[in-house]
Structure 1
């Protein structure tokens, strides 16, 4: 590696990230907080969901339905795992790396996340006939993450 290449590597690793990576980190942390709360509520059978328990908006009905688990794993725990992973993939060093893998993992994760929330929204609307406000926050944050990652991918220069 020549001296000029070393200087280029150092400059590129210190290049400003822009707003999208930081926004992704903030949204991931927000999702982590909501998913942690839903996971806590799931395992403690809490009644502090701060959500009506009658009518269309009924968090208890949604979070205790047969759709609240997939293969025996609580959906809240899956969401927590998703946001832990997205938070880890959104830290600044992983946006600055020259390796393509963090970006690929971010993209794959948000694609899986969006497909999964489509299933959950379908379950809420057409099977459970109730909507969980906390779950809707998770769905919205996942869609925002998806948009941010897709926009950032579109802005990246093509690799050879």
Structure 2
């Protein structure tokens, strides 16, 4: 994995944590201080107050907080140095679930709500960038050396 990739992953997690924390605050405070234009197409209040802003009755903003906190944990130096492939697979699976959620939320914004939330879009872009970064990290992993069986060496 390139040395700059963990820093990129952490920076994206920090961005996602900050924006998700803000959106979580707004979700529980009634959106009284939501800083976003209220136009026809761009309208954060319309998005964050819609029925689509909850999943099984839970606001999606705190779920975003949990996602970015979990991704941060999966990107700690101890997890990145661990050579067992389970961590790489877990990171990829975790960020894939996040990307699936983003695709669902963007679909809801475009086709069900009819408005876009700029703050949500920042989170969506951060998740997409995390997916690309983790996938790139997977591609850049050197395969383990091939094992030579004893009977293949003795001839």
On whether the aligned pair clears a TM of 0.5, the verdict is yes
Question: What is the DSSP-based 3-state SS (H/G/I as helix, E as strand, rest coil) of the residue aligned with 1:47?
Answer: coil
Q: Shift of the alpha carbon at 1:54? A: 2.7
1:123 is the counterpart of 2:108: yes
Q: Which stretch of structure 1 is more off in the superposition, 114-123 or 17-26?
A: 17-26
1:29 is the counterpart of 2:14: yes
For the 8 Å contact 1:17–1:95, the answer to whether it is kept is no
Question: What is the DSSP-based 3-state SS (H/G/I as helix, E as strand, rest coil) of the residue aligned with 1:33?
Answer: helix
How many residues in Structure 1 have an aligned counterpart in Structure 2?
Answer: 145
For the 8 Å contact 1:17–1:96, the answer to whether it is kept is no
> Runs (4+) of structure 1 moved beyond 6 Å?
none
Alignment-derived partner of residue 137 in structure 1: 122
Alignment-derived partner of residue 53 in structure 1: 38
Alignment-derived partner of residue 81 in structure 1: 66
Alpha-carbon distance in 1 for matches of 2:21, 2:87 = 24
Alignment-derived partner of residue 6 in structure 1: none
Question: What is the DSSP-based 3-state SS (H/G/I as helix, E as strand, rest coil) of the residue aligned with 1:130?
Answer: coil
1:110 is the counterpart of 2:56: no
Structure 1: gaps (5+ residues): 1-15
Question: What is the DSSP-based 3-state SS (H/G/I as helix, E as strand, rest coil) of the residue aligned with 1:141?
Answer: helix
Deviation readout 1:67-113 (Å, 9 max, x if unpaired) = 00011111111111100101111111211112323222210111111
